[in-house]
Amino acid sequence: MRNPGQPDRLELGTLKFNYNYRYSRRPEVAEPSGLTRDDVRQLLEACRAAGVRLVPQLNLLGHQSWSKNTAALLRAHPEFDETPGAYPNNEGIYCRSYCPLHPQVHEVVFDLMDELTEACEANALHVGMDEVFLLGEDQCPRCRGKSKAELFALELRTLHAHLAASNRALWMWADRFLDGETTGIGKWEASLNHTAPALALVPNDIVMCDWHYEAAHPTAPWFAVQGFPVLSCPWRRASVALRQLDQVRAVRLSAHPKVADRMLGMLQTTWCGFARFARGYFRENTTETNVMEAVNCFRELFRELRREP
């Protein structure tokens, strides 16, 4: 990744904590097996030794459940659920969301954001917000009938303002800002539930993490033209990662400097857990396809990145 306006390469890493940290300010949403403050200090020391700046991730708004497991926030505060009482055992949905208009939700969320960024000594927080399918639902007495784009944008402005008050940047997954029908990308890596217009309603210093795993859609340059700093995010297909890198280099080479400087670089994702990825990288685990695809994509991408002058 390149720092905007600077020619030198800056290495960063984002690590998804969610509720797997022992939050002292909101212990009711801390997983008991989560990392301690001492664990995070050791992680920070390792990052510094490797020349990496850590950006923690806390999934907000969406991804408040996975399969039958409801995540700690809604287990501790079921009153925050966007669809209270609906979808028993989370059947019939992808992931739960919290209600962005609940009058107490941000008191809790802000405490989590502050404690996690302080523990990680971070000047940025990745707030997730990908694949938000439950928003403005009829089951919610506050959100029903409201524009999904406006609800999404309002939540982002709220989170952004809180981080900006402590001079911290907001990172997020960018899929909900892409029109899945117009682009043909569909409902996962883009939106079919009318959130795309929110892009015009949010601050343009948000760092867009533009993830595409099966094809190198030309959306990162589009975000840069719209005024947003952007990272291209591959996963398991090296051919896709290298085409995304080609786009970054082409824009840096040919676009106006204002646009070129917004193309921050590449963010390799793993989605297999860091420990499994590390074991695969150091050739301690070569049997899991999901792990080795991510490892091989990372190797090929960074082999090509190192050739960059």
Residue 139 predicted with pLDDT over 80: yes
Q: Is residue 222 part of a domain?
A: no
Residue 233 maps to a domain: no
Evaluate if residue 5 carries a pLDDT over 80.
Answer: no
What element of type H or E holds 77? Answer: none
Is residue 192 domain-resident? Answer: yes
Token pair of 270 as six digits: 């793993």
Q: How far is CA 280 from CA 237, 275, 283, in A?
A: 16, 9, 5
Q: Domain of 84? A: 12-203
Is residue 20 situated within a structural domain? yes
* Model pLDDT, residue 1: 46
| Edge-first strand listing for the sheet containing 53-60 | 12-16, 53-60, 124-128, 169-173, 207-211, 230-233, 263-266
Q: For the segment 274-287, what is each residue's pLDDT rounded down to a tens digit?
A: 889 999 999 886 78
* DSSP-assigned letter for residue 146: S
112-139 core/surface letters (b: 16 or more CB in 10 A; e: else): bbbbbbebbebebbbbbbbbbbbbbbee
Residue 1: CB atoms within 10 Å: 18
pTM above 0.85, yes or no: yes
Pair 135, 152: CB distance under 8 Å: yes
Does the pLDDT value for residue 3 go beyond 90?
Answer: no
- Domain of 127, CATH number, reads 3.20.20.80
| Domain count of the fold of the chain | 1
pLDDT at 29: 97
Q: Which is more confidently placed, 181 or 273?
A: 181
Task: Decide which of 273 and 197 is more confident.
Answer: 197
* 251: in domain: no
Residue 23 belongs to a domain: yes
Q: CB-side exposure of 303: number of CA atoms within 13 Å?
A: 9
| Nearest alpha-carbon partner for 109 in 177, 156, 54, 50 | 156
Task: Establish if 278 belongs to a structural domain.
Answer: no
CB 115 within 8 A of CB 25: yes
The DSSP annotation for 110-142 comes to HHHHHHHHHHTT-SEEEEE--S----S-TT-TT
pLDDT digits (tens, 9 = 90+) for 43-70: 999 999 999 999 999 999 999 999 999 9
Reference 262, options 203, 205, 183; nearest CA is 205
Beta bridge partners of 65: 70
Q: Which residues contact 214 (CB under 8 A, 6 or more apart)?
A: 237, 240
* Alpha-carbon distances of 220 from 5, 55, 103, 183, 185, rounded to whole Å: 17, 20, 35, 13, 14
> pLDDT (tens digit, 9 = 90+) per residue, 92-131?
999 999 999 999 999 999 999 999 999 999 999 999 999 9
pLDDT, tens digit, for every residue of 16-51?
999 999 999 999 999 999 999 999 999 999 999 999
